[in-house]
Chains A and B, each alone.
Chain A
Amino acid sequence: MSSKQVSFKQLTSPQEELPKKVVLGAGTLSWIVLLSSWFLLSASNLVPTMFLPSPMDVLSTGVRLAEDGTLFEHMWASVQVVLIGFIVSSMLSIPLGMLMGSFKIVQAILEPLVNFIRYLPVTSFVPLFILWIGIGIEQRVTVIFFGVFFQQLVMISDVSRGVSKDLLHAAYTLGTSRSKVVTQVIAPASLPGILDTLRVTIGWAWTYLVVAELVAATSGLGYISLKAMRGFQVDVIFLAIVIIGLLGLLTDQFFRVLRARLSAWAN
């Protein structure tokens, strides 16, 4: 089969690889469809402009807010909250999750508790956090930490538990001690899975950010959305959504590249 032509059979065979050009083309196409439908729908007057601004309106709003600096100010406020919450959470969940996955006793102690907390909706804690912590940045960071940490813990402990016992046995017979096996075998073997976990959970961090900012904040992308709703500036809401999406995409790509760099052996 030539590299340029893709047969119908190839497209409809499960798990069949496709040429890069086709994959890229298909991805671009879905974006074009989305943007042009938005464009057409807003131009058709089927939906009032008050509810659905055109892509151009959103873009010009973006330019206007970027010029007066407010956009970057709120973006930075949001990015800060996400990063602090996410980094603090990851720094604790990675070692603790590895311990939980490596030692049954740590798992036995933590798992029942973690599984209980994990299923509590983070949103239900927001009023409590406001009472306890106030409406400053600490409160939003706490919401993100709370939303991400327990999920990370369970996912990372699963990753570590999944490390082949044969690898541990091999390390033991090569003279590795029980404690060193954690740092020299379980840690490197878990790295790709840990990076996957971070990639997934940073997406959730963005979700909780907006929740936190919608409820109580004086800055951030969620906050300007809420303010825009009161002032009926739908274009600003759209802008905030687009920017959160783009920032999310950026962090996702960051972890994708990081994983490819740090653990090429697992790809």
Chain B
Amino acid sequence: MGQLAEPLPSTVSDEQQKQDNTTSTKEATTSKKIQLHIDEVTLKFPTSTGTDFTALDKVSMEVRENEFAVIVGPSGCGKSSLLYLTAGLNSPTDGEIKVAGKVVDGPGAERGMVFQSYTLFPWLTVSENIEFGLKQKKMPAPERKKIVQKYLKEVGLESFADRNPKQLSGGMKQRVAIARSLANDPEILLMDEPFGALDSQTRMQMQQLLLQVWEHSKKTVVFVTHDIDEAIMLGDRVFVMGARPGRIQKVLDVNIPHPRTLDMVMEPDFISLKREILSLLHDDLTEMH
């Protein structure tokens, strides 16, 4: 990156931030400003019986700048809905969502999203997919090229730049999707069970890769999953949701230092957190019956 004649502004600030974070991680996370503010958000769907189904009931949460927040919960708890609302792809029945101080009103490039299904544009090559958002911004071609190169490298797909999405494995497709979102330099990165369709080996690899990429970019991330191990492995904080109606039961700090490795799942801290989340989810399930 150093040999670039004109380093990208974002790269410079990222590097600086990384330094700040490594010197005082604890202080950094507590004093950071709020990047995502979800305020008493309710989401209701009309049903065929005439009564509304409450998918989310007055959900409030805050995510700090540069934080990796994970939302974990059983299927049907509205965790994906919450993410779609944040992306602006759906509107809440009540309440308000703010990202970087601005009220969410429709989708926009400042809130990037990686979806569970494969959403690469199949008629574009890998590089063209990563370039897509930059073209929307009408960024000049040489600048686009630099950014595409940077993120191709970041996700380790430089040699696949000219391939078509259909020639890629599931894990590779999601790596491109991550690169495509990050290339846009969003205020926040929303991830909706992005590794849900992958086999467990690939999934673990992807978690490591995502952590690496996140260490470099220090984006604010909101990651939705139903996999407890994944939640603890990735998150700075884990928001545990409950179903019917969808709500946040508890917020847990993950005080496991970075870099996190695969064998961490065997450590006492990890296991006790896992036990706590499991019991929260279990209690929520049994209450329903």
Interface, chain A (partner B; CB < 8 A): 164, 166-167, 169-176, 180, 185, 188-189, 191, 263-266
Partner of B121 from A180, A185, A264 at Cβ < 8 Å: A185
Chain B residue nearest in CB terms to A169 = B89
Most-contacted residue by chain A among B108, B113, B123, B132 (CB, 10 A) = B123
Q: How distant is the Cα of A174 from the Cα of B179 in the complex, in angstroms? A: 12
Partner of B89 from A164, A167, A173, A180 at Cβ < 8 Å: A173
Residue pairs across A and B with CB atoms within 8 Å: the count is 67
Assess the A166–B112 pair: CB atoms within 8 A: no
Partner of B136 from A164, A167, A180, A191 at Cβ < 8 Å: A180
Partner of B122 from A169, A174, A175, A265 at Cβ < 8 Å: A265
Within 8 Å CB of A172, what residues of B?
Answer: 87-89, 107-108
Assess the B123–A174 pair: CB atoms within 8 A: no
Q: A166-B117, A180-B136, A265-B166 are in contact. Are A173 and B112 (CB under 8 A)?
A: yes
Chain A residue nearest in CB terms to B90 = A169
Assess the A188–B123 pair: CB atoms within 8 A: yes
17 contacts between A and B (CB under 8 A): A164-B119, A166-B119, A169-B89, A170-B177, A172-B88, A172-B107, A172-B108, A173-B181, A173-B190, A174-B136, A176-B136, A191-B123, A263-B123, A265-B164, A265-B165, A265-B166, A266-B123
Using A173-B181, A266-B122 as known contacts, list a sample of 10 further A-B pairs with CB atoms less than 8 Å apart, ordered by residue number in A.
A166-B117, A169-B89, A170-B177, A173-B111, A173-B112, A174-B180, A189-B123, A265-B122, A265-B123, A265-B164
Within 8 Å CB of A167, what residues of B?
Answer: 119, 121
Within 8 Å CB of A189, what residues of B?
Answer: 121-123
Asked whether any CB of chain A lies closer than 8 Å to the CB of B109, the reply is yes
Chain A residue nearest in CB terms to B110 = A175
Within 8 Å CB of B165, what residues of A?
Answer: 265
User: Which of chain B's residues 75-125 have a Cβ closer than 8 Å to chain A?
Assistant: 87-89, 107-109, 111-113, 115, 117, 119, 121-123
Q: How distant is the Cα of A185 from the Cα of B136 in the complex, in angstroms? A: 12
Assess the B108–A175 pair: CB atoms within 8 A: yes
Asked whether any CB of chain A lies closer than 8 Å to the CB of B184, the reply is yes
Within 8 Å CB of A175, what residues of B?
Answer: 108-109, 133, 136-137, 184
Within 8 Å CB of A170, what residues of B?
Answer: 113, 115, 119, 121, 177
Most-contacted residue by chain A among B109, B121, B137, B177 (CB, 10 A) = B121
The 3 closest A-B pairs by CB, nearest first: A175-B109, A174-B133, A172-B107
Within 8 Å CB of A166, what residues of B?
Answer: 115, 117, 119
Chain B residue nearest in CB terms to A266 = B122
Give min CB distance, B117 to chain A, whole Å. Answer: 5
Within 8 Å CB of B137, what residues of A?
Answer: 175
Within 8 Å CB of B88, what residues of A?
Answer: 172
Assess the B115–A169 pair: CB atoms within 8 A: yes
Within 8 Å CB of B121, what residues of A?
Answer: 167, 170-171, 185, 188-189
Within 8 Å CB of A265, what residues of B?
Answer: 122-123, 164-166
Give min CB distance, A189 to chain B, whole Å. Answer: 7
Most-contacted residue by chain B among A173, A180, A188, A266 (CB, 10 A) = A173
Within 8 Å CB of B112, what residues of A?
Answer: 173-174
Within 8 Å CB of B136, what residues of A?
Answer: 174-176, 180
Most-contacted residue by chain A among B107, B108, B112 (CB, 10 A) = B107
Give min CB distance, B106 to chain A, whole Å. Answer: 8
Chain B residue nearest in CB terms to A172 = B107
Chain B residue nearest in CB terms to A263 = B123
Assess the A169–B113 pair: CB atoms within 8 A: yes
Assess the B123–A173 pair: CB atoms within 8 A: no
Chain A residue nearest in CB terms to B108 = A175
Assess the A174–B184 pair: CB atoms within 8 A: yes
Assess the A169–B108 pair: CB atoms within 8 A: no
Q: How distant is the Cα of A170 from the Cα of B113 in the complex, in angstroms? A: 7
Q: How distant is the Cα of A172 from the Cα of B190 in the complex, in angstroms? A: 13
Q: How distant is the Cα of A174 from the Cα of B177 in the complex, in angstroms? A: 11
Q: How distant is the Cα of A15 from the Cα of B115 in the complex, in angstroms? A: 32
Q: How distant is the Cα of A173 from the Cα of B106 in the complex, in angstroms? A: 9
Within 8 Å CB of B109, what residues of A?
Answer: 173-175
Q: How distant is the Cα of A167 from the Cα of B113 in the complex, in angstroms? A: 12
Q: How distant is the Cα of A175 from the Cα of B185 in the complex, in angstroms? A: 11
Within 8 Å CB of B181, what residues of A?
Answer: 173-174
Q: How distant is the Cα of A189 from the Cα of B122 in the complex, in angstroms? A: 8
Chain A residue nearest in CB terms to B164 = A265
Give min CB distance, A184 to chain B, whole Å. Answer: 8
Residues 150-162 of chain B: 1 if any A CB is under 8 Å from the residue's CB, otherwise 0?
0000000000000
User: Which of chain B's residues 126-164 have a Cβ closer than 8 Å to chain A?
Assistant: 132-133, 136-137, 164
Q: A167-B119, A188-B121 are in contact. Are A174 and B132 (CB under 8 A)?
A: yes
Assess the A173–B113 pair: CB atoms within 8 A: yes
Within 8 Å CB of A180, what residues of B?
Answer: 136
Within 8 Å CB of A188, what residues of B?
Answer: 121, 123
